[in-house]
Amino acid sequence: MALAEDRSSYQDLGRVALKQDLGRVALKQNIRKITVESLQLEPLCDQVVAYFAERLISKETLLRNSVMQKTFGDQIAIAFTYYRGGALVSCKYRDVNKKFWQEANTEKIFYGIDDIEGASDIIIVEGEIDKLSMAEAGIHNCVSVPDGAPPSVSKKDVPSADQDKKYQFLWNCKNYLNKASRIILATDGDTPGQALAEEIARRVGRERCWRVKWPKKNEVDHFKDANEVLMYLGPEALKEVVDNAELYPISGLFNFKDYFHEIDAYYHKKFGFEFGVPTGWNSLNNLYNVVPGELTIVTGVPNSGKSEWIDALLCNLNASVGWKFALCSMENKVREHGRKLLEKHMKKPFFVGRYGGSVERMSVEELEQGKQWLDDTFFLLRSEKDSLPSISWVLDLAKAAVLRHGVSGLVIDPYNELDHQRLPNQTETEYVSQMLTKVKRFAHHHGCHVWFVAHPRQLQNWSGSPPNMYDISGSAHFINKCDNGIVIHRNRDPENGPIDLVQVCVRKVRNKVAGTIGEAYLEYNRVTGEFSDAAGDMKLKKSSC
């Protein structure tokens, strides 16, 4: 008798079972009482015992699990008897053509349910032969689902118990399952098997589920179920598979172990820029380095040089590590922004006279060279409509710039030029918090550093000293939520030190690997817009950083 197992027979079973289930709904009150005699079940003949022996399932195990047979005309079918509390409640047949069917009007329960009575660990497999294979390895606290596996996980929510027709067997056996502290899912390793595990886990509670990892068969494939492991690796190996079951994953709940590869890569500095990229100014080396995926808030009173300093920083980063940037600079005309960037890059003024004085102007050839550099390095996010752009609009385009052009940094300058339509009843503080969460997610997800310029609120009786990060108009969330907080300040008090000396106040650094709070002094070159480390010990007498 050829009784080899295959998936199609399980699918047949699914169809048969579905028909039977539909039948069962109609006949809910009509569950038959059955006995071995009423079903005319017979003890196993040698032929069937030999069939199981080929699968390394012994006669002893077959007898222990009351596997029987039944004659239909000139055909013999295997009869898997379903007992509950010692009483026969259902029977499933399997014939020579690998077809399955279940006794009509009988209960849907797990196969082997009496074996898990009071067990704190329960193993669930996908077929009767897997249950018998576990028994062969001495693992008796195991049950099999009665109807095989679904093709995929249902996209719908789990229905209520009375509507959950396909998994009625689970609800019928819930008292047995409720007592278990661990439910080990040992369904097949293929897609339907995984789908079955998920369907069970979502019904019994993922938190107490574990799953087995089927061992490798060769370089590419894994053994697919308990019987294969028993046949090819033996009972000890099957026990080991169950002993080494791992926690069933819960979406959103992780172990550190899930991230060890990242921690190792970090330790061995495989990400690149672990300490951040130096700004190009020695005085800032210990204070502020640019880490991919972080958010830096830059503030300062109007005209303090925030935009100029960020532009100079981008030029330095491009020169040192070749980064490219997306620019959302709403206050700058493109030609003016282009001029400022070109001057910093070419280290020459764009014009003669006025701010350029008598310094030689960049040549036409240099302009052409510089234009090419501008085009390769910066990508402009500009709203062509009259209305102000929203933060989602900016982040969507920045994402396109990351994916299309490989940009590593985004500048949003300034916050108040974005459209900030708040939901009714939403406070500005709540709004800023949510907006910064979006910005940080973008930065983190794309490994893109974001510089966000925000103005301080109008300061009454301003003393001329650098503003506080908590003075940023809108919300304390700017300082609370950013990774780095920087105030750019230029001195306008001759009593206090050189006029226009630039103070870079690093007020917050979340990541101690990248820097620390403190201040540095830079000089601004009005002709080229470049910043350089302040000469010698040039600093302000009174510093409020």
CB 377, min distance to ligand ATP, A:
19
Per-residue buried b or exposed e for 471-508, using 16+ beta carbons within 10 Å of the residue's own CB: bbebbebbbebbbbbbbbbbbeeeebbeeebbbbbbbb
Residue among 187 and 304 whose Cβ is closer to ligand ATP:
304
Closest CA to 329 of 399, 411, 388: 411
Number of residues in the chain: 545
Q: Tell me the C-alpha distance between 541 and 479, whole Å.
A: 27
Residue 155 CB coordination number (10 Å): 5
Among 91, 502, 504, 540, binds ligand ATP (CB under 6 A): 502
Residue among 210 and 378 whose Cβ is closer to ligand ATP:
378
Q: Which of residues 248-307 bind ligand ATP (CB under 6 A)?
A: 300, 302-307
What does the DSSP 8-state code read for residue 356?
A: G
Tokens describing residue 127: 């077929």
CB 172 within 8 A of CB 108: yes
Among 262, 526, 538, 542, binds ligand ATP (CB under 6 A): 526
Q: Tell me the C-alpha distance between 515 and 504, whole Å.
A: 13
Mention every residue, 6+ apart, whose C-beta is less than 8 A from residue 542.
Answer: 465, 496
Closest CA to 90 of 41, 151, 49: 41
Q: Which of residues 442-501 bind ligand ATP (CB under 6 A)?
A: 455, 490, 500
Residue among 318 and 528 whose Cβ is closer to ligand ATP:
528
CB 302, min distance to ligand ATP, A:
4
Residue nearest ligand ATP, Cβ-based:
305
Residue among 283 and 434 whose Cβ is closer to ligand ATP:
283
Among 524, 528, 530, 540, binds ligand ATP (CB under 6 A): 524
CB 526, min distance to ligand ATP, A:
6
The verdict on 308 binding ligand ATP (CB under 6 A) reads yes
Residue among 111 and 524 whose Cβ is closer to ligand ATP:
524
CB 472, min distance to ligand ATP, A:
12
Q: Which of residues 220-239 bind ligand ATP (CB under 6 A)?
A: none
CB 81 within 8 A of CB 89: no
Mention every residue, 6+ apart, whose C-beta is less than 8 A from residue 130.
Answer: 144, 186, 225, 226, 227
CB 523, min distance to ligand ATP, A:
8
Residue among 110 and 415 whose Cβ is closer to ligand ATP:
415
Residue among 512 and 541 whose Cβ is closer to ligand ATP:
541
Q: State the residue for tokens 């196969």.
A: 111
Q: Tell me the C-alpha distance between 103 and 270, whole Å.
A: 61
Helices 364-377, 334-346: crossing angle, 10 deg rounding: 110
Q: How many residues bind ligand ATP (CB under 6 A)?
A: 15
Q: State the residue for tokens 């239909």.
A: 72
CB 313, min distance to ligand ATP, A:
12
The verdict on 329 binding ligand ATP (CB under 6 A) reads no
The verdict on 343 binding ligand ATP (CB under 6 A) reads no
Q: Phi then psi for 492, rounded to 5 degrees?
A: -120, 15
Residue among 330 and 436 whose Cβ is closer to ligand ATP:
330
Residue among 24 and 306 whose Cβ is closer to ligand ATP:
306
CB 367, min distance to ligand ATP, A:
20
Tokens describing residue 241: 């598979």
Q: Please give the residue ranges that form the binding site for ligand ATP (CB under 6 A).
A: 300, 302-308, 331, 455, 490, 500, 502, 524, 526
